Chains A and B, each alone.
Chain A
């Protein structure tokens, strides 16, 4: 058994004796400890945050950081939501992100289809043009956009955010979806065309359903980009009523004069665990979609 190294597992699965089980346990121990440490590193800060969100100000300031709250201050969440305006910030984020997301997916999938499936001379140059946009930092477009939005009179609304998110999200979306459309077999497109479907029918009824899961993945990536954006939101929101979650959190500390740790942590917790719930829900749907597709063949 001494010649068995952890790396040999693939060759020796199936041969087990009592001493082998013990050996296995000892061999696996470092990996288990390492995994445990990793989990603590990821989970502990979040747990600490959650406990902090339930403490009163004096409790937080005077007692050790690892102790549980003396009184469980669920009211901190209400303070964060109402007094801290978190409700407004979340509404603004939703209003800005979802229209932009719908726009990006609609335009991006149409462009990706035309660039990958359809045959035309300029498709490669246009693709490269979109690709170049992935590299450009947002700082390079902020100042002209600010001038345009200011002169057109869009400042003071969420339109600048919607338009900017939609445009900056396009390069990556077009590129990713074009790659996925490559998986649509030519024969399927030809068969649909012979059956009398127009090109738009092929796009909507044949190609789009085939890349449904890919679209969900891309939408998820773009959602987190937009939801977590700070630069654009900070540039184009000039009043408290327009602030998104990120900008609102940044200014949260100033709202009460001295920092109120409980409500601040509660606000962070709401955004963090809200994202967590969304992540888990959508992650499972992506998995379900993938396995479902695999079973159907």
Chain B
């Protein structure tokens, strides 16, 4: 049997093609791109070795500071926002709606599959101020406030991006966390109830600790996605007003393709990759030490 399952030629035939494409189109370019960060130029003009010039520029560039701050703030706020909303929805499904929740689960899940650009254009219209008074602003006028130019200030634009992304993703995280909540044995919950735990206390002391592993994977999944945010912001604000809502991903894209500075663009991409790596490894470490603590 070991001979049968260890057939080298079969393994090579099965893994080979996937590994080849993955290596050629992802692994090699990662290192290639890292190499670009020591050069200036682009695909059309050719590349010139410039040593550490790009890294010095990176440290001195005020736009990097803005982009980095925005990226981290967005990632943290949205991760907390979507996981918390998702968790509340999942609790609603499991403990309040119970069996009746199937249709609502599907309906609230649905926005995640919509094309991001379509959703962003829709939100742009929902919140726009000119030339028409549209839903959100007419609602504000109805309760006696002045219409707000939502995309005119950095603070407002930030929160509209957050609202849009929570609207899109809350149903997805709800289903993800729902799967974890359903797995909690009913007997455990009943035992806690007999001991007098209800409502918030039940959630805090019994449900939350037991669903911690699935919460953690939702967090890791979320932070990994939010650090790489691109399409929703490009389509909704295009980084504006000014560069107030420009994440690193968009700044890298503009630097490379609008200004043709591939070398500096590659340096920004490298910074982004290092951040993703550090955050992922840190979360992974933390989750391992934590689950060890839980089993002891």
Contacts and interface: CB of A to CB of B under 8 A. Distances in A.
A126 B19 contact: yes
Interface stretch (B54-62, B129-137, B154-162, B211-219): B129-137
Nearest to B221: A134
Interface residues of B, number: 92
A137 B249 contact: yes
Nearest to A31: B96
B132 A65 contact: yes
Contacts of B186: 10
B74 to A, nearest CB: 14
Contact of A228 (B7, B116, B126, B253): B116
A231 B266 CA distance: 15
A295 interface: no
A235 B234 CA distance: 13
B125 A275 contact: no
A88 interface: no
A59 to B, nearest CB: 10
A103 to B, nearest CB: 8
A6 B108 CA distance: 23
Interface stretch (B30-38, B75-83, B176-184, B286-294): B30-38
Given A139-B252, A143-B256, A118 B6 contact: yes
A126 to B, nearest CB: 7
A231 B29 CA distance: 16
A135 B224 contact: yes
Nearest to A220: B113
Q: Considering residues B11, B17, B21, B28, which has the most beta carbons from chain A within 10 angstroms of its beta carbon?
A: B11
B189 to A, nearest CB: 8
Interface residues on A, range: 35 or more
Contacts of A151: 43
A84 interface: no
Nearest to A148: B29
A229 B116 CA distance: 8
Nearest to A34: B92
B18 A48 contact: no
B214 to A, nearest CB: 15
B33 A249 contact: no
B135 A166 contact: no
Contacts of A246: 115-117, 231
Contact of B133 (A65, A117, A250): A65
Contact of A8 (B26, B119, B121, B193): B193
Given A39-B104, A139-B249, A115 B15 contact: yes
Nearest to A282: B113
Nearest to A104: B18
Given A7-B193, A31-B92, A140-B30, A279 B7 contact: no
Q: Considering residues B10, B18, B21, B27, which has the most beta carbons from chain A within 10 angstroms of its beta carbon?
A: B18
A276 interface: yes
Contact of A141 (B25, B111, B231): B25
Q: Considering residues A6, A11, A142, which has the most beta carbons from chain B within 10 angstroms of its beta carbon?
A: A142
Interface string A132-174: 0111111111111111101100000000000110111011001
Given A140-B33, A174-B18, A249-B117, 13 more contacts: A31-B92, A39-B104, A111-B18, A119-B2, A129-B19, A129-B27, A139-B228, A141-B26, A141-B33, A145-B25, A246-B116, A249-B115, A275-B113
